[in-house]
Amino acid sequence: MGKNIVPHDYQISSKERKKLKGHNAFLLWFTGLSGSGKSTIANVVEQKLYNLGIHTYTLDGDNIRTGINKDLSFSPIDRTENIRRIAEVASLMIDAGVVTLAAFVSPYKKDRENIKTIVKDVNFVEIYINTSIEECERRDVKGLYKKARLGEIENMTGISAPYEAPVHPDIEIKTEETTVDEAAEKILKFIQKKLKYKINET
């Protein structure tokens, strides 16, 4: 912290906010290739949480790359900064008591490790949406693979830029053998206990 930045002692902490909401807050981080199904699955998870009365917010390319990160490219250094800023935003969201979902390719292992440091280990749930590059290219939801093959896009993950798959994700979803609803249920089941706020928790 800068030497002239002195934190103020606010009386309402994350503990009070959790108590008010009646549930814990943490980050559900979806990683995987473009078109793997991150946003599709996150969307269904968020609807299910909403129906349970859980306060949520989803961070994705649409609300981040067009706003806070609109100055960043897809170069390795900017990708790292992209993820760092998202993690800092997520950290504030968690402090605010919101279950935060984040759907980003996030291809580098070291960047995902850094998220864990920023939001704290216990608040980080890594969800690997594992879909083969062949299937992602076949789906080509945004037409990006076609463009990448034509050489119109640089640094396309899976084509001209690497994807470092998580080795020990908290949850792995193989979308070629799992429906969207099954995937969402698997995630809900995993976080069920984590969501419960106990009155004496800090």
Using CB under 6 A, pick the residue from 18, 23, 25, 34 that binds ligand ADP. Answer: 34
109: phi > 0 → left, psi -120 to 50 → alpha, else beta; which? alpha
Choose which of 27, 28, 35, 126 interacts with ligand ADP (CB under 6 A). 35
Q: Known catalytic residues? A: 106
Question: Shortest distance, CB of residue 104 to ligand ADP, whole angstroms?
Answer: 9
The residue from 180, 188, 194, 195 that contacts ligand ADP (CB under 6 A) is 180
Q: Which of residues 92-111 bind ligand ADP (CB under 6 A)?
A: 103
* Residue closest to 192 by CA, chosen among 23, 18, 15: 23
Is residue 45 part of the contact set for ligand ADP (CB under 6 A)? no
Q: Contact with ligand ADP (CB under 6 A): which of 37, 107, 158, 166?
A: 37
> Taking the complex as a whole, how short is the minimal distance between the CB of residue 18 and ligand ADP, in angstroms?
29
Nearest CB to ligand ADP, comparing residues 24 and 175: 175
Work out how close the CB of 41 gets to ligand ADP at its nearest, in angstroms, rounded to a whole number.
Answer: 5
User: Of the candidates 27, 28, 32, 159, which one interacts with ligand ADP according to CB under 6 A?
Assistant: 32
What residues line the site for ligand ADP (CB under 6 A)? 32, 34-41, 103, 129, 139, 141, 175, 178-180, 183
